Amino acid sequence: MQFLKSLFCLHGFDNRTRFFAISSGVYVLFSMLASALTNSIFISLMLLVVFSIILGLTSLRRLHDAKFNKKWFFAPSLTFTLTGIIIILSEQSSSYYLLIIPTLCTAILLTYQSHTKKKYILGYYGPVDMSEYQQDNNQSKQSQYRIEPTLVSKNTTNYYYSEDDDIQTFNQTSKTENNDHSQNQNRSDKETDIGELIRLNLLNNRKAQLIIVAVIGITLIGVTTSWLINYLDSSDDAVIKEDDNKPKNSTFSSILRNHPLPMPDNYTLYLSDHSGISINWQADEVETSLLWSQQTAQGDTSCKEISFNKGTPIRTLSVQVEKSDGINTSYFANFSPLDSQELIQALAFRGDFTLCGYNFSLKGSQAALATNKQYAQWVEY
């Protein structure tokens, strides 16, 4: 629990090792969880908020530790937040390459050395009590410096060193070690820190700066290109899928139906823009949208022609099924413009007809046709 509290601490200090570990964990966990939760945008955004706060706070503690301008606090966290939003909303795997931008900001902040001599626990120093993680270390150090009594012989007389002598000897040894450690520490402080050296070389190296800018530019161009390609591919797939969902005889699905003429036995005549006749009636619901197509010779064979009580049957071009009012199912039998006059003559002077297994009476059809000039032109007495 104390470790979790230290992750959300505002006033503490994080050394380089802890800052690197937390930042790396944030990037890796976000990448894994975001890719696993692609279907849950809300949860992904909530995780992004939590990770952004953790990254922002560890950046702030790193700035405290480096005694640097706090404006840098916004660089890693803001770039990570913006990149995370793009990754979640775009749902493109190539978007993860954009994480290189906040990673570079984190790397720059990592180059600044610590300017505080603190007693870090797990890389942290601050108001959160982390002493529970130090107990084992203290015990191991105490056991390491435990002094065993020594048996010494002098002038053929055996005796033990007193405890005070052992403590005095240990204190002298400790002082010597501490002096050596302080001298080494002072010597190392005078040397240039490797992180500082890397940053200074980058700032003074024009080519290195251009390489970094080029890497970022290439990444942005590559991600943008990938988005465009995926968008065009998805558009093509949508068009293909839409075409697949259409009836195979797509020529007939685009027929314009004009001049509706209701007939006595609950069917309606329509006239296409090319003077082709369509017969419409309500019927039972079926799963397919194309009952019959002359072009493929597939479907319900009872729909391949209209049969009259006498005379020659007339072939249909197609029989389509549509939802006329969103509830009722309508059949549309489409005929060739070449057969329009023959079909109207048969409807006017025959007694009945059968189509798709449905039987219709033609009683009163002649009078209905005569009232509409669009169809009356084909009626010959």
Written in H, E and C, the secondary structure of the chain is CHHHHHHCCCCCEECHHHHHHHHHHHHHHHHHHHHHCCCCHHHHHHHHHHHHHHHHHHHHHHHHHHCCCHHHHHHHHHHHHHHHHHHHHHCCHHHHHHHHHHHHHHHHHHCCCCCCCCCCECCEECCCCCHHHCHHHHHHHHHHCCCCCCEEEECCEEEECCHHHHHHHHHHHHHHHHHHHHHHHHHHHHCCCHHHHHHHHHHHCHHHHHHHHHHHHHHHHHHHHHHHHHHHHHHHHHHHHHHHHCCCCHHHHCCCCEEEEEECCCEEEEECCCCCEEEEEECCCCCCCEEEECCCCEECHHHCEEEECCCCCEECCEEEEEECCCCCEEEEEECCHHHHHHHHHHHHHCCEEEECCEEEECCCHHHHHHCCHHHHCCCCC
Query: Is 238 or 209 the better-scoring residue by pLDDT?
Result: 209
Asked which of 34-43, 67-76, 302-311, 348-357 is least confident by mean pLDDT, the reply is 67-76
pLDDT in tens, 17-42: 898 999 999 999 998 998 888 778 88
Q: What is the pLDDT of residue 213?
A: 75
pLDDT at 183 over 50: no
pLDDT at 274 over 70: yes
Asked which of 34-38, 241-245, 276-280 is least confident by mean pLDDT, the reply is 241-245
pLDDT at 311 over 50: yes
pLDDT in tens, 319-342: 999 876 667 889 999 999 999 999
- Would you place residue 207 in the very low, low, confident or very high pLDDT band (cuts 50, 70, 90)? confident
Query: Is 216 or 204 the better-scoring residue by pLDDT?
Result: 216
